[in-house]
Structure 1
Amino acid sequence: MQSLDSKDFLNQPQKRTWIDTDITIDHYNGLIPCDVDDGYALGVLFRSQEVDIVGLSSTLGNSEDIEVTTEIATQFTAKFGPTSLTVSKGSSVFYSDAEGKELPEAVKNLAQELKQGPLTILAIGALTNIALLIKHFPELVDNIQEVVCVAGRRNTEQHFVASKRQLRPFRDLNFEVDETAFNVVLNSEVQLTLIPFEVCDDIWIDFHELRKMRNGSSLAEYLEKESRIWALEWATLFGSSKGFIPFDMVAAAYVVNPEWFTVKQWHVQVQSGPSDTKKGETKEYLVCNEQLDMGRLVNYAVEISPSAEPELFKRLTQQDISSFILGLSHVNIIVEDVDGAAEYYHKVLGFERAIDDQGQKMDYRNVSMAEFNQDAGLADQDVELDVLFLKHPYASIYLELMRYHKPIGQSEIPPQPRTYDLGGPRHIALEVSNCTAVFRYLKQQEGVAMIDPSDDYHPEKLDGFPISFFYWIDKYGVQWEMEEGRRVGVARGIM
């Protein structure tokens, strides 16, 4: 199994991931608290460098009101997610009722991301949005590398019971809440991975772990606070002395590192049988086992490694700023002419003009953008500049050449500092996974000065680019940029 304690995983390309969630943490259906496990799933993914979260959408499931899941997803992402990540509103109705209605924003935006390249979908709610995408964009199905969801059981006699005192088993919610949508996915060519109750049952969050989370990160403190009533609900209604199962977090763990899991490729069928949740009724069950010889093949998880749980909680609770640093983004150099400087650095060091992961030249002329001014600490000034990126073909280091047309700075290079004099490059840029979280962390540190000392200074997403950044100066006079979204760090190996 790949060790996440080593740095080997940094040499692997990030997994482009879309999250479709019915998150309802901190919400009540009447007097009954709603599930909290989506919060744990999102929290793990937000703090995992193995994934590149390209989108997040709301869906039905824990709530039948799309406004509820959309609002909570938006609030949670704003608190703990990447600065550039936005939430797309999913379908307000289940699949059978969506005929004739305008396609939801979630489906359109997911389609746009699939056009950019293959991705994995973590489906932790109704599969309505995914089924609608399959129906309306069949040409994009091949770019869905995998759909991972919490669903399935070995047979119709297997019931989802967490303790002996639980009178009524849990529903196979992500399957049962919109069976029609699930069947659309089953009948497609999409690779499907099922994380069933039996595997989720191996990971519990007990009261002892909740107490430890109080002294963890702000994310862990929030999850602990919102989980207290949920843990009491399990203790009262289900007689659970172990706490509760964070189902969706287990599915998120599979997205982070499939090698944590033992997975079988078995046939899956939808079978009818006596309902285990409504007495005297019949219902459909999603059944997957090695005896079946008909139905499509899916990946069915049967075991999770004991090493997964401590790593997941480490990610949720760690306060270390290192969890947000992804790699060296670039070295910035101010020049009088970006084209002349590009020729110079090509001649003396072999740097070449860079292209991004979409095949576009990283060459931006006459840039004038209010968001850039804000992030660069020039909010009240008239700014216009040229930006040209170079990349070394072997060292994979990027140079960011900048020529300012406005404002005009010093026209002469200052005297060269001696080797042992304090000072450094104009700025050194580090690629980070969560610009806002890093900004808040650094604001609290001694010896850190933001480039703009005003209370209004904060990172903003650039208009038309998935990028946000901010500048700060350390106690030795080195100016740093913390940048999210460009994804050019050497650890990624992106062209």
Structure 2
Amino acid sequence: MIKTVKKQARIWIDSDITLGQKNSLVSYCDVDDGYAIAALLRSVEVDVVGISSTLGNTDNIEVSTAVAVDFLKRFGPNSVVVSKGAAKPLSAVTDIPEGVKAMAQALEEGPLKILGIGAATNIALLIKHYPQLINNIDEIVLLAGRQSMDDHFVSGHHQPKPFRDLNFEADVDAYKLILDTQISLVLVPYEACKPFWIKQHDLLGMLKTSRVARYLAEKSEPWLLEWELVFGAGGFNPFDLIAAAYLINGDWFSSELWDAEITQGPSYTEKGQVKDYLLCSKHIKSGRQVRYCTAISDVSKGILLDKIKAHDMQHFVLGMSHINIVVDDVEKATEFYQSALGFEMARDAQGELMDYQGVTMSEFALDAGISDGKVDVDVRFLKHPQAGMYLELMHYRYPKGNSKLPPQAKTYDLGGPRHVAMEVSNCNEVFHYLKAHSGVTMINTNNSYHPDKLDGFPITFFYWIDPYGVQWEMEEGRQIGLSRGIV
């Protein structure tokens, strides 16, 4: 069925991912950032444009950066890059980290929602150093907050002491700066996460599904065991996944528009000490208004885990991208399709003509199955103003193909166009899936064949051939068909 869908929300993830790294000989770091990132990368509702590393689960920015890079290398699309964030809290930062610069660049390209699932240092630095971009921040979703100082974060029957409001306490000054703006803020607190459990049977189910689900399940076993033995819990709460869920479907949440404020009180985790609390409730009248989530629907768990577990193509194919036609002269072919069918020159998201003469980059050649890595080709895109269809015209100077058209196939003969291109959200995941699929032949059967990002372009692609001779291209990064809002 054809239906109109909402335009993908562009989002940035600011994460302290440690994914089961050891804290000590018997203690592990949490794994929930991995669940959050995996679910978002596999959700057609959002477009993840970048990830920055931050502190929180670790005090070493090199650790969260390295874990994020490794996770994206294993399971992420080439179009999403990890940038290193601040190595210290806001008050101690002197230079602008690369993660903040990358976030600013993404904001310059268009409106953005930011998910903060670690210390909020990078987000505060963005606001501090790039105030001219604040209007492009649609929303900031933060995993933090509570209604009262008496709300203790306890998940297990014999938990030694309550959990800290870690993301907030990791950099209170950052939260003070963020609260002092008029940016739309959403708080996803512990109380909204507490009923959502990952248990042993969930992990066992994940082991039989996608590569990323198996990886997360294996990393989660020690974390689950620690919750069972140390905290007396029958599972663990994947806090960051619940915060990510708000960006996938905010309708899953019950929420209130309440005032929030930072105040001091006795510490319940360190006796005899005073600490800051981020409070938000109907009783506070002197703070600034935020959206405070009080609960998440039970239906969310199955949907979120299905996104992570899915190893079919549903979560990656976004729409039809373009039809490729190899021609002997790009200009002549352009004139024909303009006069015969009304096609026009196509433009990219920045308004530039999609007309690339003399492409010689080796990545293009290798992705196209040209094993010597050499190519010289003119590429031009045309778009039909009503149909929304794109044509990709190509004229190869090298390598030289047949200069004469092959015999025209009859209507009932096997065969097809030169290639049909599909948009995908994650070229690497799709490549691994199709490579193992019966009946699929990659354009280059060498074991080293793998999609690589084009130099200077956000495009990654690969070719494969189906059992009936149709050549397909799976392309990530351009998002041509998705812009038509049709699934």
Q: Deviation string for 1:340-366 (max 9, x for gaps)?
A: 222211222222111112221111111
Note if contact 1:21-1:59 (Cα within 8 Å) is conserved in structure 2. yes
Instruction: Check 1:492–1:359 CA distance in 2 against 1; reply closer, same or farther (3 A cut).
Output: same
Query: Counterparts of 2:453 and 2:32 in 1: how far apart (Å)?
Result: 29
* SS of residue matched to 1:270: strand
Aligned counterpart, 2:418: 426
Distance (Å, rounded) in 2 between the aligned partners of 1:11 and 1:378: 38
1:95 corresponds to: 90
Q: Assess, with a 3 A threshold, how the Cα gap between structure 1 residues 414 and 184 changes in structure 2: closer, same or farther.
A: same
Q: What CA deviation, in whole Å up to 9, does each residue of 1:324-350 have, x standing for no partner?
A: 111111100011222222221122222
Asked if the contact 1:396/1:493 (under 8 Å) is kept, the reply is no
Structure 2 match to 1:63: 58
Aligned letter for 2:18? T
Equivalence for 1:28: 22
Q: Secondary structure at the match of 1:348?
A: helix
- Residue aligning to 1:157: 150
Distance in 1 (alpha carbons) for counterparts of 2:78 and 2:69: 12
The equivalences for 1:59-208 within 5 A come to: 59-99=54-94, 102-208=95-201
CA positional deviation for 1:84: 2.3
Q: Which residue of 2 aligns with 1:15?
A: 9
Q: Deviations over 1:234-281 (max 9, x none)?
A: 11111112x000000001111111111122111101111111111111
Alignment of 1:219-230 (within 5 A): 219-230=212-223
Contact 1:57/1:87 (CA < 8 Å) preserved in 2?
A: yes
Supply the distance in 1 between the matched residues of 2:401 and 2:231 (Cα, whole angstroms): 69
Structure 1 letter corresponding to 2:365 = N
Q: Separation in 2 of the partners of 1:104 and 1:273?
A: 33
Tell me which residue corresponds to 1:378: 370
The alpha-carbon distance between structure 1 residues 491 and 143, as it changes in their structure 2 partners (threshold 3 A), is closer
The Cα of 1:30 is off from its aligned counterpart by: 2.0
User: What secondary structure is seen at the aligned counterpart in 2 of 1:152?
Assistant: coil
How far did 1:110 drift?
A: 0.8
2:362·2:374 contact (CA, 8 Å) conserved in 1? no
Amino acid at match of 2:423: E
| Residue 50 in structure 1 maps to residue 45 in structure 2 | yes
Aligned amino acid, residue 410 of structure 1: N
Q: Indicate the residue corresponding to 1:480 in structure 2.
A: 472
Which moves more between the two structures, 317-326 or 40-49?
317-326
CA distance in 2, matches of 1:259, 1:179: 29
Partner of 2:282: 290
Q: Which runs of 4+ in 1 moved over 4 A?
A: none
Structure 2 counterpart of 1:22, one-letter code: D
CA deviation vs aligned residue, 1:292-319 (integer Å, no higher than 9, x gap): 2111111111121221111011111122
> Any unmatched runs of 5+ in structure 1?
1-5
Deviation at 1:456, TM superposition (A): 1.6
SS in 1 for 2:412: coil
Count matched residues.
485
TM-score by length of 1: 0.95
**CA deviation vs aligned residue, 1:152-209 (integer Å, no higher than 9, x gap):** 1011111111133223111111101100111111112221110010101121101121
- 1:394 matched to 2:389: no
Tell me how far 1:220 sits from its aligned partner: 1.2
Q: CA contact under 8 A between 1:24 and 1:34: conserved in structure 2? A: yes
SS of 1:166's equivalent in the other structure is: coil
Deviations 1:8-38 (CA, angstroms, capped at 9, x unpaired): 5x62211111111000013111221001000
Q: Which amino acid counterpart does residue 56 of structure 1 have in structure 2?
A: I
Percent identity between the two aligned chains: 53
SS of equivalent residue, structure 1 residue 216: coil
State the secondary structure of the residue aligned to 2:283.
coil
Match for residue 217 of structure 1?
Answer: 210
**Secondary structure in structure 2 of the residue aligned to 1:476:** coil
CA–CA distance in structure 1, aligned partners of residues 383 and 83 of structure 2 = 34
Task: Give the 3 Å change call, closer, same or farther, for CA 58–492 of structure 1 in structure 2.
Answer: farther
SS at match of 1:419: coil
SS in 1 for 2:481: coil
**Do the aligned partners of 1:11 and 1:492 also contact (CA within 8 Å) in 2?**
no
Secondary structure of the 2:472 match is strand
In structure 2, the partner of 1:317 is: 309
- Say which SS state the counterpart of residue 315 (structure 1) adopts: helix
Point out the more displaced range, 132-141 or 256-265.
256-265
Structure 1 CA distance, aligned partners of 2:295 and 2:175?
23
Distance 2:349 2:131 in 1: 24
Tell me the distance in 1 between the aligned counterparts of 2:337 and 2:421.
19
**3-state SS of paired residue (1:63):** coil
Distance 1:172 1:381, change over 3 A: closer
Pairing 1:277–2:272 present = no
Q: Which moved more, 1:247-256 or 1:207-216?
A: 207-216
Measured after TM superposition, the shift of residue 491 of structure 1 is 6.1
